[in-house]
Structure 1
Amino acid sequence: MTRQRGSGRTAGVLAAAVCMAAVLLPGGAWAAGEDGSYGFDGTAQRVKGAVSNLDAEQLKAGQSYRDSIKTNGKQYYRVDLDTKQNAYVSVVAVPKGAAKASYGDGIKVSMQDGSGTDCGYQTTTFGSSAFTRPIAAYTHRTIEPGSSSCQQAGAYYVLVERTSESDTADWDLEIRYLTEPGVKKTGPTALPDNWASGTPQPPAGGPQRRDGGTGLAGATSLRQGEWRTDIKPGQTVFYRVPVDWGQQLFASAELGSSPASDDYVGNALVLSLENRAGGHVDRQDSMSYDGDPATTALDPQRPVAFENRFSSDDSTSALRFAGWYYLSATLNPEIAEAYGNKPLPLTLRVNVTGQAKPGPAYDGAAGPFTVTEDDRDAAASGQSGPQATRSGTLRVVGVTGIGVGTVLVLGLGAWWLLARRAAGSGPTPG
């Protein structure tokens, strides 16, 4: 009987150790999106948008948040700004599943100072593709020489509006707040007249396999090259490319052929580009598909430059800093009706042209608005997630590994002592 009780205790200790190890292991925390849904930032905190700006919760720089918004919803968040830093608040709107969308359905993000002066806004819609998917937009307060609007320190209010009536379900939101240091001295603000607008030759070397991430936070890193994956109807895959000062990003996507059908599907693939702060840069959604290979490409964009931020063109203004730029591709869910719910082959061709140039003389650390050697290494190896998140994950894994090892050692020690008792021997000291 004593041996049986000892065996039960031993099994309990081992079970507890194994369960504790399973809890501590980080895999479950990063499993978001395995079912094809959007992979939210695992570090995001919950926040609740307010219907009045005076009740708005304060956002902290460098932090990600999660919330939701109803049809035609309007909700406020607060950021406290100084007179030196640029501020960016971005929103990824994530509809729940694929649904029909009208041309004007989408999300609008704006910012106002304490007096109600508009500092800027961006509206992103589903466009002619007419189906829901994750879309991003941002607003910003930019320090501008000679300007008096939105330059003061104090409380600023971010307003997120949903411009949608077609989809009545709530949308999830992923919100990011980043700050960029001002510059010690403002250089030229005029855009250069000449820039390389011709599309370069496709990258050489042949396609390499690299599957996309499920969200901005877990986007798969790419460098220049030809990248092969598979994409299912309704699925969105996310990638990120480091683009330094003075460099240009060119990207195209090709859907491979399918013998399943020859039916025509309009707006078959959406290819989108967002900047480091989550601001929308460009989108192509006019590619049709009839079972034969089909290709679409982003419009040629100016080189990344500090003076781009003073442009009235939204796409040019968004190319205002160095860092990671995010590519996403979404396959029209209507493809499933004609070609089945199986993946289609997808190839992304990425060119990064131009020599990297020195960045502006920031009055402080550039933070995420730069390209480091670690970023280039990540792009070469295909690591996923922002640099800070990746480093944080490695630290968690290291600490967790120590914790799991400790739990297992203690559990095995307890098992040994119980086994000794069960055998009629006393515990050994120590």
Structure 2
Amino acid sequence: MGVMGRVRTTVWAAALGMAVAGVPVTAYADGSAPQPLPAYRAADGAGRVEGRPSTADAPLIEAGRTYEDTIGPGDRFYRLVLEKDGSNAYVSAVVRPPAGAKVSGSDGIEVELITTAGTSCPASTGRANFDYDPVPLAAAGVRWGAEDAECAPGGVYYAKVTRTSAKDSDHSPWPLELRVQREPGRGAGVPTTAPSGRPTEAPSLPGTEAVGRAGGTGFNDARALGAGVWRDEMRPGQTRWYRVPLDWGQQLGIGAELSAAQVTKKFTSASGGLAVTLYNPYRGQVADKNTSYDGMQAGVTLAKTPPVGYANRFSSDRDVQPVSVAGWYYVAVTMGAKVAGFTEDAVPVPLTLRLEVTGTPGKAPAYQGDPAAGGFAVGADDRTAAREGLTAPEAAEAAGTRSLMRVVAGAGFGTGAVLLAVLGGWVLLGRRGRGATSA
């Protein structure tokens, strides 16, 4: 990158920093067309895979890996080899329709785990449908390794990913992201019956001063947040992504608000102008809600989640069942594309996100292995990322920096000084290269 390229990157990063901190930034004041919305960031190191329309020659996918594929309407099959160890295998699929693609409420994505005999594993299927906009959409299927005798044996299983599309919807192939996660088998004393019913509980959302945090483009660069009030900005058709660490016994309350836009046409509103979706650590939907937006003000509040508990998975309540593992919970906030019909698209609209996290982190249930390896735990680094507002790539970079600093500290003055100078250069280059998280 040349000197001018670095200057442009630095200026744009500074402008975004001012915007999310609450300092107004006038976008495209020269009347030029707004830039395209940032694309979904794919997972670093994702492998390429090509699903098959039948189980014959279905490619192997493995726990702990993320894969990239494409999918049109219909089925795609992938092969898993699972152990008879009581563990649970979660397969999630994220479809990413292009901007402007036509979708309907009957369009969506489904993930089902099946045996080699073609039998669906009990309670294995996860499904998600679009509301109004072609946004990244995720669903997850699961093989329960201890509860279901039919799918407890070790051996070959298949993940069937189905994309449904109405006759007049977009039928072009879309990018597909697959992720496979393993939750270890349970140990002695872990509850195996559903908790008693819970009343619907409204959160007590905070009203403190907002702190700027720019959301990401998807699961892989979602911005880490904790309890508090957070400020961002959005344009029509955009989805901002955030992640919140929830430990065992903790609950999450969410509120999102869009304030006034630059209205170009009065007395008009967009159904689904503001939408909020909550996903759990294996990318299964927990809750979603939307409301209309008229360019003046809109707000959505999700009911408080139940306390994170292993026994929740045995509940028949769809609001309880997904909140059964600790880890990162993801919040996707969408501003409907139809808002562009009556507002100035080039000028971002302020978004306020209010988060309530309650409950003292409890002890993890007795597992037969380490749940953190599958993404089902909250550690000190996760809490640090939430406190500092880091995306996963930034958190990994920070962890590497901390590790190198420990090497510097133990290297003695001379060698340590050289290493420190190199480290400073790396950090500076990393910051210049990263620039804005999303535009």
TM-score category of the 2 structures, normalised to the smaller one: 0.7 to 0.9
CA contact (8 A) 1:114 1:154 kept: no
CA contact (8 A) 1:251 1:351 kept: yes
Partner SS state of residue 307, structure 1: helix
Partner SS state of residue 334, structure 1: helix
CA contact (8 A) 1:216 1:385 kept: no
> What amino acid is the match of 1:153?
G
* Aligned mates of 1:78, 1:174 — CA distance in 2: 15
Q: Go from structure 1 to structure 2 and tell me whether the alpha carbon gap of 1:387 and 1:369 turns closer, same or farther (over 3 Å shift).
A: farther
2:130 maps to 1:123: no
Partner SS state of residue 56, structure 2: helix
> What amino acid is the match of 1:302?
P
Q: Go from structure 1 to structure 2 and tell me whether the alpha carbon gap of 1:334 and 1:34 turns closer, same or farther (over 3 Å shift).
A: closer
Following superposition, the deviation at residue 34 of structure 1 comes to 8.8
Following superposition, the deviation at residue 196 of structure 1 comes to 6.3
Alignment of 1:295-314 (within 5 A): 295-314=299-318
Q: Deviations over 1:115-157 (max 9, x none)?
A: 2221211110013x2x211000000111334x31211100110
Partner SS state of residue 339, structure 1: coil
Following superposition, the deviation at residue 186 of structure 1 comes to 4.8
Alignment of 1:160-309 (within 5 A): 160-165=161-166, 166-193=169-196, 195=198, 197-260=200-263, 261-262=265-266, 263-285=268-290, 287-309=291-313
* Aligned mates of 2:54, 2:269 — CA distance in 1: 47
Q: Which residue number in structure 2 is paired with residue 67 of structure 1?
A: 69
> What amino acid is the match of 2:98?
K
Q: Which residue number in structure 1 is paired with residue 385 of structure 2?
A: 378
Following superposition, the deviation at residue 327 of structure 1 comes to 0.3
Q: Which residue number in structure 2 is paired with residue 359 of structure 1?
A: 364
Q: Go from structure 1 to structure 2 and tell me whether the alpha carbon gap of 1:396 and 1:57 turns closer, same or farther (over 3 Å shift).
A: farther
Q: Deviations over 1:218-238 (max 9, x none)?
A: 110000011110011111111
Alignment of 1:102-113 (within 5 A): 102-113=104-115
Following superposition, the deviation at residue 209 of structure 1 comes to 0.5
Q: Deviations over 1:262-312 (max 9, x none)?
A: 322111011101111111111112x11112221112233221100111123
Q: Deviations over 1:299-347 (max 9, x none)?
A: 3322110011112333322111000000011111111111021211111
Partner SS state of residue 370, structure 2: coil
CA contact (8 A) 1:384 1:390 kept: no
Q: Which residue number in structure 2 is paired with residue 98 of structure 1?
A: 100
Q: Deviations over 1:242-272 (max 9, x none)?
A: 0011111111110102342432211101110
**Aligned-residue identity in percent:** 38
Partner SS state of residue 219, structure 2: coil
Q: Go from structure 1 to structure 2 and tell me whether the alpha carbon gap of 1:69 and 1:360 turns closer, same or farther (over 3 Å shift).
A: same
* Aligned mates of 2:403, 2:143 — CA distance in 1: 34
Q: Go from structure 1 to structure 2 and tell me whether the alpha carbon gap of 1:44 and 1:351 turns closer, same or farther (over 3 Å shift).
A: same
Q: Deviations over 1:95-125 (max 9, x none)?
A: 0113232111011111102222212111100
* Aligned mates of 1:58, 1:395 — CA distance in 2: 36
Q: Deviations over 1:55-87 (max 9, x none)?
A: 1111121111100011x2211111111122110
Partner SS state of residue 191, structure 1: coil
CA contact (8 A) 1:96 1:170 kept: no
Of residues 138, 141, 145, the one that matches 2:140 is 138
* Aligned mates of 1:83, 1:391 — CA distance in 2: 38
CA contact (8 A) 1:67 1:173 kept: yes
Structure 1 portions without partners, runs of 5+:
1-14, 23-32, 409-430
Alignment of 1:281-430 (within 5 A): 281-285=286-290, 287-341=291-345, 342-367=347-372, 368-385=375-392
Partner SS state of residue 123, structure 1: strand
Q: Which residue number in structure 2 is paired with residue 45 of structure 1?
A: 47
CA contact (8 A) 2:203 2:304 kept: no
Structure with higher Rg: it is 1
Q: C-alpha root-mean-square deviation of aligned residues, in Å? A: 2.9
* Aligned mates of 2:315, 2:199 — CA distance in 1: 18
Q: Go from structure 1 to structure 2 and tell me whether the alpha carbon gap of 1:391 and 1:115 turns closer, same or farther (over 3 Å shift).
A: farther
Q: Which deviates further from its counterpart, 153-162 or 263-272?
A: 263-272
> What amino acid is the match of 1:142?
W
* Aligned mates of 2:60, 2:231 — CA distance in 1: 42
Structure 2 portions without partners, runs of 5+:
7-34, 406-417, 426-439
CA contact (8 A) 2:261 2:348 kept: no
